[in-house]
Amino acid sequence: EATIQLEVAGETVHTAALGEGPVNALDNALRKALTCFYPQLAEMSLSDYKVRVLSSEHGTGSRVRVLIESSDHHSQWGTVGVSHDILEASWQALVDAISYKLHKDKISRQDDGQDKTPGC
């Protein structure tokens, strides 16, 4: 289970989600929080997840690089996160993947004049 709190367009959103492991739970919670504001995120999917240890001489304190491949109906892209904490590196890559999708589609909540999706 992952629990997150975000601020989206001045509104605080607090949500939790389950997943097949902590990274999938983070991904599910992030999408659950943001899809109400940006429904186009529903067409986005995580297609690959890779972790590489960058400096193994530090054992469990080593930095890791997380590479996430994402796609939608039109394209595929990759994002990267780096940290000593695998969950932090995964969070960085997940947030960048969603940010890229929104920038790629040139969609922002303020520009389209829409509020949250009804029922959220």
- Domain positions in the chain: 2-106
CA-to-CA distance for 80 and 107, rounded, in angstroms?
A: 22
**Domain 2-106 sits in which CATH superfamily?**
Alpha-isopropylmalate synthase LeuA, regulatory domain (3.30.160.270)
Percent of the chain with pLDDT over 70: 88
> Kind and range of the H or E element at 52?
strand 45-53
pLDDT confidence of residue 109: 46
Report how far residue 11's alpha carbon sits from residue 120's, in angstroms, rounded to the nearest whole number.
Answer: 13
Taken as a whole, the chain contains a residue count of: 120
Rounded CA-CA distance 72/43 in Å is 6
d(CA 85, CA 97): 19
Query: What is the C-alpha separation between 39 and 2, in angstroms, rounded?
Result: 21
CB–CB of 44/98 below 8 Å?
Answer: yes
Q: Averaged over 88-112, what is the pLDDT?
A: 84
CA dist 68 and 18 (Å) reads 19
Percent of the chain with pLDDT over 90: 73
pTM of the model: 0.83
Average pLDDT of the chain?
88
Q: Give tens-digit pLDDT for 35-91.
A: 999 999 999 999 999 999 988 777 777 899 999 999 999 899 999 999 999 999 999
The residue to which tokens 């695998």 are assigned: 86
